Structure 1
Amino acid sequence: MSRPSSEKSSFIDPSAGERHFIHAQLDYVGEKGGNEAEETIQTTAGAPVEVRNPLGYNVGYWTTLLINVSHLVGTGIFSTPSNILTQTGSVGLSLIFWVIGFLINLTGISVYLELASYFPSRSGSEVVYLEQAYPKPKYLFPIAFAVNGVLLTFSSSNGIVFAQYIFRVANVTASPWAQKGVAIAGMTLVCATIIASTKWSLRIINASGVLKLATLLFMTVTGFVVLSGRTRVPEPRANFHDAFKGTSKDAYSLSNGLVSVLFAYGGYANSFNLVNEVKDPIRTIKKTANTALVSVAVLYLLVNVAYLTAVPAADIKKSSQTTAALFFKNVFGTTAAQVLSIIPALSALGNMLASVTANSRMIREIGRQGLLPFPRFWVSTRPFGTPLGPQGRQAFNFLVALKSYPDSFFLALMTLGLFLIRRQRAAADLPPTQYRSWSWVAGVFFAAKVFLLVMPWVPPKGTLKSTSFGFFYATSSLTGLGIIGLCGLYYLLCTRILPRLGGYQIRQTVIQLDDGALSSYMLKVPNADIDEWDRKHDPSGRSIDGRSEDETRTVNVV
């Protein structure tokens, strides 16, 4: 694989915090962070590198591995096999879909790794990569992703499954409102843990990851025991006779099944959200992200085989989000199944913790771009040194489908952005980084995301309501498009309409909060003062005379 080369002396091992500018087709600023990573060279429109991360550097090798495991193994393996089997129509194709999902996400890790290698001292993953890949129109993609991130960064689906399993443990038939109450209580507990302590939330995630791996191993071994014929389960091989009988040919159903598979693997890139808290992040995450995904994918496949040895395929299709409970019941009996249902409940809770931990970094990075109202709120780590600011069956399936559409849209743009960043850096003669993905691998990941954007528009067989969520098939896609449109509307309002009406232009500067956090800050500069402003500030928006913009009387624009 060819790499751009450079002989410029400014790239020779700069010290942490030493900043320099590179002027090419785009203006770049180079700065080395405090996480022992290579220099981050980014366009000047980006949020500043935090040389000393106020969140610390508590994410080591095992935490990086287990935070991916904890996010990977959430509700998916316990709740989506039913929908995947229903949508694919046959046992054989459903198992193949689990392999396809693994391969797609393996290509995704390669894409994320190359993008992270360009910006190894910036947490937030997609936030950063879209910001850097699409510098023009200025602020468009940071604003669009900011709106999408705040609106759709949730763990509602995990909360729903958590509540369902909790009531199963208690042997109580709960009303929808009771389930919502328990789901909210679970999310409250998760958010309180993250707010209280970064170190302890990471320790709990580590413990959760170990428990989840042990659970999957336990279910796998149980499946093999059932397959041997030494348990109460009759005909454990029945589902594997004529395994492809009933295979679906409905494009809508197949794409829906793929969405569910990819949801089950959600979290494979979780550690990229915490890059600036990892020492030597690219080498560390390259090992841990791949190890976590491969290990979990093998266990997922074996757990699905275990389900199929103990539960008739027809019953799995009817089991909704409680496939695991049905498996425990058929193997161990009703009482044991009731007790063992606590395992997927704890798994869902651990997944919420890992998810919200990563999402809080993503939202904080959005806040550091200075494009949300009240940027201090999103960026601050006070008072506990943590990022305080961020944070029934048909409902579950709809939430999965809804979140998938904007996610696929931005991930497709992110992957296309990888090729744009390569071209931009080659034009600027910037140095090579620690990792480079094969182009065909990135192409496969891009094609998968485009598939998920196109296929949901193909009507299902039967009626237009023949969906896993019971109403008009394109509702989730239309809602997703509406959210993307809202992102564009917010951009036009903030950067075009209001400045024109108010007689000002937007300029970016950098501020430092009391806790040491650095953030971009968007200012309204009157049209009459624009020339003077540009003369007194460097390309990244810092005052040339060193005066803090926090001392000025200018006002935040959004």
Structure 2
Amino acid sequence: MSMFKQQDSTCLVEEAVQQDPTSADYTLGTPLEDGHVLGKEVSLLSATMLNIGQITGSGIYAVPGTILNSLGSVGLLLLIWLIAPIFAFGGLSIYSEMASLYPDRSGGEVVYLEKAYPRPRFFVSTAFAVTVVLTSFSASNAIVFAQYFLSAFEIPITDTKQTAVAICMVIIAVGCVAISTKWSLRAVNVLTILKVLSLIFMSATGIAVLAGYTRVEDPYANFHRPFEGTSWSLNGLATAFVKANHAFIGWSNAFNVLGEVRGKDPARTVRKAGIVSLSLISVLFLLINLAYVAAVPKEDIRTSGQLVAVLFFRRIFGSTGTRLFPLMVALSCFGNIIAVTIGQARIIREVARQGLLPYPAFFTSIKPWGTPFGPACLKGFLTIAVILAVPAKDAFNFVLDLASYPSLVFSIAMATGVWIIRRRRRSAQLSPSSLQANNELVVAYLASCILLLLLPWIPPKSGHADVSFWYATYCVAGIGLLLCCGLYYWLWIILLPKLGGYEIIEEIEEHAGGARNMKLVRRYKPQDIAGEQQPLLSAL
């Protein structure tokens, strides 16, 4: 059973300042919860595995082919895998600084944006809430899982079969997270260790190819003129950067469970997890791309779509590789979705705790198994909806790009938010973060996000687009989503309260087990009706 704690404006100011002395905002913000309602199950190992588990999804197995198609040369393909981690380390430094200031809050970006941009009231939080919920799907990894799973058993890949297999896998992975945090973390640990071993094996195989120990006749054929055929299209460069950056997404996953990390300094723990996971994966990804280039002809890589790893294993191991190693890729995608769901379920739960989802009590509650059951189910539903809605042929590239574009806007807000919070803390005479980010890394991260927003609008050269429809469709769709957020905010926070004669205030809703969330309610302004003042209060 839940109950409300009603508060007037004065109480809201006082409690807001107590929670965050750097904020002069008159709203309460998301309340801290009593104790650790989701437990303290995350160790340094689990945090590292959560990061690697999300990073090592379908990206390294699926995107090199589309990147080469966009860039045209293996030289640029390899260069892109050297550059992409630099920006990821910049993002890691920003998140680490924010985490050190708010170590008791899970949810990562949703918390940091709320703290950096309290005004206009609810604006940034609402925009982020709508965007993150609508793009919290794992359709791309589910689709790649289906393709590799079917390929492993030599089953023809049709739209119907691909969709059915992808949906079944999503139900199993999301169900695991919804039922048990402890066992889902154990599953991530086991699956991720297996994935790392498989990546090491692939890297070692690539080295064996280059050393001449396999049946590949000329492993250096693609290295003779590495920049031949380079397409210097800005759109192609942007597409390649988007794909490579997407392959590294996951370095921040441990920040989403920050409130569940063991130890006295959880911020340093997740920072260590980020450094270890990014360093290890950056090296392995570069070696695996070298392996692809050494073993597979350039044109075959370019036209491989999402099946470049299948071509690699087939050329090295023949029919055995065709059947066994696609199962490894499928298993990697399965582990990825579990790891992603663990993190995104916490993000959605924090959005609900802000009062920005319908039925916030349902999405905040940890019943019946002490897990974020409602958010996990919502993520599963959205993933299945996207799988069913997008044509199978273009599903992987489109949903990957669509999810990436709006997030760039919030990444820019994160980078600038660091400086905003620093200035606010100086004004309040508070000490800086113990994990303050290097300004050069912040600038590099900010610049990369701005470029990735602008470059995709430039038309690609003929034959280098990665979807069969208009190349910038995902940009328009991403902007449309953000505009819808703005329209929704204007209607909900500005127009309707003005027309209805009410204001939106916050109440704390408390649940068994210490869970808490905000509930946004309407407080009608007093009006003289028959000579009497009649204040009314009703739930939104």
User: Does the alignment reach a TM-score above 0.5?
Assistant: yes
1:37-436 to structure 2, matched below 5 A, reads 45-279=28-262, 280-390=265-375, 391=378, 392-436=392-436
Deviation string, structure 1 residues 322-349 (Cα, Å, up to 9, x no partner): 1111111000002332122100000001
1:499-514 to structure 2, matched below 5 A, reads 499-514=497-512
Q: Is the 8 A contact 2:106 2:346 kept in 1?
A: yes
Deviation string, structure 1 residues 78-102 (Cα, Å, up to 9, x no partner): 0001011111211111111011111
Measure how far apart 1:262 and its partner are.
0.5
Q: Is the 8 A contact 1:165 1:344 kept in 2?
A: yes
2:261 and 2:320 mapped to 1: Cα distance?
44
Q: Relative to structure 1, is the Cα distance of residues 310 and 42 closer, same or farther in structure 2, using a 3 angstrom cutoff?
A: farther
Q: Give the aligned length.
A: 506
Q: Is the 8 A contact 2:22 2:424 kept in 1?
A: no
Measure how far apart 1:434 and its partner are.
2.2
Is 1:483 matched up with 2:472? no
2:217 and 2:24 mapped to 1: Cα distance?
61
Q: Relative to structure 1, is the Cα distance of residues 40 and 422 closer, same or farther in structure 2, using a 3 angstrom cutoff?
A: closer
1:144 and 1:294 mapped to 2: Cα distance?
33
Q: Is the 8 A contact 2:355 2:519 kept in 1?
A: yes
Q: Relative to structure 1, is the Cα distance of residues 416 and 79 closer, same or farther in structure 2, using a 3 angstrom cutoff?
A: same
Measure how far apart 1:48 and its partner are.
1.2
Measure how far apart 1:194 and its partner are.
0.6
Tell me the SS of whatever aligns to 1:522. Answer: strand
Tell me the SS of whatever aligns to 1:424. Answer: helix
1:174 and 1:470 mapped to 2: Cα distance?
19
Q: Is the 8 A contact 2:505 2:520 kept in 1?
A: yes
Q: Residue type matched to 1:516 in 2?
A: G
Tell me the SS of whatever aligns to 1:248. Answer: coil
Measure how far apart 1:430 and its partner are.
2.2
Q: Residue type matched to 1:145 in 2?
A: F
1:393 and 1:77 mapped to 2: Cα distance?
19
Q: What TM-score, normalized by structure 1, do the two folds share?
A: 0.87
Unaligned runs of 5+ in 2: 1-10, 379-391, 528-534
Measure how far apart 1:41 and its partner are.
8.2
Measure how far apart 1:473 and its partner are.
1.7
1:143 and 1:92 mapped to 2: Cα distance?
43
Which position in structure 2 is the counterpart of 1:448? Answer: 448
Q: Is the 8 A contact 1:162 1:349 kept in 2?
A: yes
Measure how far apart 1:450 and its partner are.
0.4
1:304 and 1:220 mapped to 2: Cα distance?
9
Q: Is the 8 A contact 2:34 2:514 kept in 1?
A: no
Tell me the SS of whatever aligns to 2:513. Answer: coil
Q: What TM-score, normalized by structure 2, do the two folds share?
A: 0.90
Tell me the SS of whatever aligns to 2:156. Answer: coil
2:441 and 2:464 mapped to 1: Cα distance?
34
Which gives a bigger RCO, structure 1 or 2 (Cα 8 Å, sep 6+)? 2
Q: Is the 8 A contact 1:380 1:515 kept in 2?
A: no
Question: Could you tell me which of 18, 29, 43 is aligned with 2:18?
Answer: 29
Q: Relative to structure 1, is the Cα distance of residues 253 and 505 closer, same or farther in structure 2, using a 3 angstrom cutoff?
A: same
2:329 and 2:403 mapped to 1: Cα distance?
22
1:337 and 1:176 mapped to 2: Cα distance?
21
Measure how far apart 1:46 and its partner are.
2.2
1:553 and 1:364 mapped to 2: Cα distance?
29
2:24 and 2:175 mapped to 1: Cα distance?
34
Question: Could you tell me which of 523, 531, 536 is aligned with 1:525?
Answer: 523
Tell me the SS of whatever aligns to 2:170. Answer: helix
Deviation string, structure 1 residues 501-551 (Cα, Å, up to 9, x no partner): 22210111222112321111212111129xxxxxxxxxxxxxxxxxxxxxx
Which position in structure 2 is the counterpart of 1:538? Answer: none
Q: Is the 8 A contact 1:81 1:316 kept in 2?
A: yes
Tell me the SS of whatever aligns to 1:430. Answer: coil
Q: Residue type matched to 1:394 in 2?
A: D
Q: Is the 8 A contact 1:30 1:42 kept in 2?
A: no
Deviation string, structure 1 residues 149-202 (Cα, Å, up to 9, x no partner): 111110000010000011001101132122111111111001110111010001
Measure how far apart 1:27 and its partner are.
5.5
Q: Is the 8 A contact 1:107 1:444 kept in 2?
A: yes
Deviation string, structure 1 residues 251-290 (Cα, Å, up to 9, x no partner): 0011001000001111111111111111321111121111
Measure how far apart 1:358 and its partner are.
0.5
2:537 and 2:73 mapped to 1: Cα distance?
63
Measure how far apart 1:22 and its partner are.
12
Q: Residue type matched to 1:415 in 2?
A: A
Q: Relative to structure 1, is the Cα distance of residues 553 and 219 closer, same or farther in structure 2, using a 3 angstrom cutoff?
A: farther
Q: Residue type matched to 1:449 in 2?
A: C
1:122 and 1:553 mapped to 2: Cα distance?
34
RMSD after superposition: 2.2
1:517 and 1:337 mapped to 2: Cα distance?
49
Tell me the SS of whatever aligns to 2:374. Answer: coil
Tell me the SS of whatever aligns to 2:512. Answer: coil
Identity of aligned residues (%): 40
Measure how far apart 1:40 and its partner are.
10
Tell me the SS of whatever aligns to 2:17. Answer: strand
Measure how far apart 1:554 and its partner are.
4.3
Which position in structure 1 is the counterpart of 2:388? Answer: none
1:42 and 1:292 mapped to 2: Cα distance?
37
Deviation string, structure 1 residues 210-265 (Cα, Å, up to 9, x no partner): 01110100001111111111211110111111111112211001100100000111
Q: Residue type matched to 1:190 in 2?
A: A
Q: Is the 8 A contact 2:180 2:371 kept in 1?
A: yes
Tell me the SS of whatever aligns to 1:244. Answer: coil
Deviation string, structure 1 residues 268-318 (Cα, Å, up to 9, x no partner): 111111111113211111211111001000000001111111111111111
Which position in structure 2 is the counterpart of 1:11? Answer: none
1:556 and 1:515 mapped to 2: Cα distance?
24
Q: Is the 8 A contact 2:84 2:245 kept in 1?
A: yes
2:495 and 2:128 mapped to 1: Cα distance?
20
Unaligned runs of 5+ in 1: 1-20, 32-38, 530-551
Q: Residue type matched to 1:319 in 2?
A: S
Q: Is the 8 A contact 1:130 1:414 kept in 2?
A: yes
Q: Relative to structure 1, is the Cα distance of residues 318 and 461 closer, same or farther in structure 2, using a 3 angstrom cutoff?
A: closer
2:18 and 2:144 mapped to 1: Cα distance?
45
Q: Relative to structure 1, is the Cα distance of residues 296 and 289 closer, same or farther in structure 2, using a 3 angstrom cutoff?
A: same
Q: Residue type matched to 1:370 in 2?
A: G
2:13 and 2:348 mapped to 1: Cα distance?
30
Tell me the SS of whatever aligns to 2:505. Answer: strand
Q: Residue type matched to 2:366 in 1?
A: T
Which position in structure 2 is the counterpart of 1:541? Answer: none
Tell me the SS of whatever aligns to 1:341. Answer: helix
Q: Relative to structure 1, is the Cα distance of residues 41 and 118 closer, same or farther in structure 2, using a 3 angstrom cutoff?
A: farther
Q: Is the 8 A contact 1:40 1:121 kept in 2?
A: no
Tell me the SS of whatever aligns to 1:154. Answer: coil
